[in-house]
A = this chain, B = another copy of it.
Amino acid sequence: MESIVMDEMFIGRKASRTQLVTEREVLIFAGVTGDLNPVHINPDFAEKSIFKKQIAHGMYSVSLISAVLGCELPGAGTIYLGQEINFLAPVYLGDVITAEVEVLEMNIEKNRLKLKTTCTNQENKIVAEGVATVKPPKVKAL
């Protein structure tokens, strides 16, 4: 767990996390959010869908981005202001997703950062891409 203040930021600073997506994660995510869409939880339904196989919730990938923002860069004490995300490709069970954030813009006066947020699978294909806006901690929270 990190806690990185504006003074330590620079354009291009990056952090990432990598997560294997299994049926277990997808079912827990479905249960806790109530998103029981059958393309995520029913293999028979998913087989007949455009995706051909069960896929993870798009918001699961975005939650991995959020985890990097909240735990790594900037980390503890961060205030999440906004997120734009485009879903570019499906995430299948067994995929290994790397969520990366990279500082794009620093507004020191307003203590605000914009970060490029990207989720990539094990074939280096971008599955989701966008921009996050956050306030880093004013003083180190840890």
Which A residues lie at the B interface, using CB under 8 A? 1, 17, 19, 25, 28-29, 31-40, 45, 49-50, 57-60, 62-64, 66-67, 70-71, 75-87, 130, 141
Contacts and interface: CB of A to CB of B under 8 A. Distances in A.
A21 to B, nearest CB: 11
Contact of A19 (B17, B34, B36): B34
A62 B59 contact: yes
Give how many copies assemble into the complex: 2
A61 B29 CA distance: 13
Cβ-closest 6 pairs across A and B: A37-B70, A35-B67, A33-B63, A82-B86, A59-B66, A28-B32
Given A59-B66, A85-B82, A76 B39 contact: yes
Nearest to A67: B35
A37 B77 CA distance: 8
A71 B70 CA distance: 28
Contacts of A38: 1, 76, 141
Given A29-B32, A71-B34, A57 B49 contact: no
Contacts of A67: 33-37
